[in-house]
Amino acid sequence: MDPEILRSSFAVVERRAEFAVKYFYSHLFRHNPDVRGLFPLDFPEDMERQRDRLFAALTHVVERLEDPELPGYLRDLGRDHRKYLVEPDHYAAVGASLIAAFATVSGSAWNAEAEKSWGEAYGAITNIMLQGAWEAEHDGEPPWWDAEVVSRARHGDDLVVLTLRPQRRLSYSPGQYVSVNTPHLPGIWRPYSLANAPRPDHTVDLHISRVENGVLSTALVRRTREGDVLRLGAPGGALTLRTPVDRPLTLIAAGTGWAPVKALLEQLDATHEARLFLVARDTSYLYDRSAVERLQARLPRLAVTFITPAPGRPKAQATERLLTALGNRAGWARHDVYLAGPPDLVEEIGEALPVLGTPAERIFHDVLPPTGQGGTRPLGSAEWLLNRPQPTWHNPSGRAPKA
């Protein structure tokens, strides 16, 4: 397995990502029709999402072939894939179709050396992912947790807080996310952060904002009722509290990014020095003020700043106001910073914080997929190259990428 051959051949394939993915699925379903049910491609945005997920994962692996943390990433990926009911035979079928797609789109750039290296690499990847799946099963971890909706609080037309009671207690660290599925949309999973560690009765809160044209978020916000049962995937991500008690911390939450930040704040005690910036598109979306007031009463060293646009101004002004508020604060070199919210905002704030003085290695956030607001991104290769997605559903470090 030659890393340079893998990288150079993948660079050729990546330039034709759209065609490569279409060929891959056509080849896979033609030769393995029983696998078709594992891939939810019945909705317009799903081919784009599957393309992004596939190439984001491949990019992550190819760029980190010598990274000692790569096996852990792959084991987690194998553990997570059990929720799709993936069997060992499916890995072989996917590998054959993947290499067939690579060979087809590469044309004369594909040769025996590239095929040999990719065959060996895929075999190694499969072995590690299967090991992760086996370890999870051996430890008694289910492919997913069935969780009953025991209460539902609606906030406006597009936001809901669901309280869930999993049938089995989640092994969850505050700040992590879980993937969520509703049984009447089989195969469609989306990541959502939980707002608390499991309570003594095992319940957890899920904060969900409806995404325009989002199939699952619309179902969860508008059609889910008490008594319904959802499925929760294994907890993932690393937006977990790692700040020593003698170091101050700043938490920045936008929208339903408040959920993981709330879970983190619940872990603090009265000795922690912390500041919270809570950002919303307008005042009506500051939907959990009572919880903030309870935290302030319990944490005397917590300073809270609410950020919204001026009345009648576009929601983007909230980001401008946040940047101004951050710039008016001092002591950034001393603070750990935790970010949660829409990916675009997290990226913009994550880039601004080092300028203010926060060391890049002390800026923490999970990398989650774009929400899709503003329309579906085209499938063309030019768009792929100009706006290539990052791996989105496993984030081993929970840390902002270094520039």
pLDDT in tens, the chain (403 residues): 688 999 999 999 988 888 888 899 899 989 998 887 777 655 545 556 666 677 777 888 888 888 888 898 899 889 988 998 888 889 999 999 999 999 999 999 999 999 999 999 999 999 999 999 999 999 989 999 999 999 999 988 889 999 999 998 888 899 999 999 998 887 788 889 899 999 999 999 999 999 887 889 999 999 999 999 999 998 888 899 999 999 999 999 999 999 999 999 999 999 999 999 999 988 878 899 999 999 999 999 999 999 999 887 887 889 999 999 999 999 999 999 999 998 889 989 999 999 999 999 999 998 654 433 333 343 444 444 445 444 443 344 443 333 2
β-strand pairing of 229-232 with 145-155: antiparallel
In the chain, what are the domains?
3-138 (1.10.490.10), 145-232 (2.40.30.10), 249-367 (3.40.50.80)
Range list of β-strands (E), 326-392: 336-340, 363-364
- Written as six digits, the tokens of 192 are 């959502």
Residue 403 CA to residue 389 CA, distance in Å, equals 16
Per-residue model confidence (pLDDT) at position 275: 97
* Contact criterion met (CB below 8 Å) for 129 and 81: yes
Nearest to 384 by CA among 105, 45, 44, 17: 17
The CA distances from residue 5 to 17, 59, 62, 74, 341, in Å, are 18, 14, 10, 21, 38
The pLDDT assigned to 326 comes to 96
Strands 145-155 and 363-364: unpaired
Answer for the pair 368, 211: CB distance below 8 angstroms, yes or no: no
d(CA 69, CA 50): 24
Q: How far is CA 103 from the centre of its chain?
A: 31
H helix or E strand, kind and range, residue 232: strand 229-232
Given this model, what pLDDT does residue 400 score?
Answer: 37
Task: Identify residue 382 by its one-letter amino acid code.
Answer: A
Q: How far apart are CA 232 and CA 214, in angstroms?
A: 18
User: pTM above the 0.85 mark?
Assistant: no
Q: Provide DSSP, 79-143.
A: HHHGGGT--HHHHHHHHHHHHHHHHHHHGGG--HHHHHHHHHHHHHHHHHHHHHHHHHHHTT--S
Q: Locate 143 and state its tokens.
A: 């492919």
d(CA 208, CA 94): 33
What is the per-residue pLDDT for 41?
A: 55
Query: Are 251 and 185 in contact, with CB atoms under 8 Å apart?
Result: no
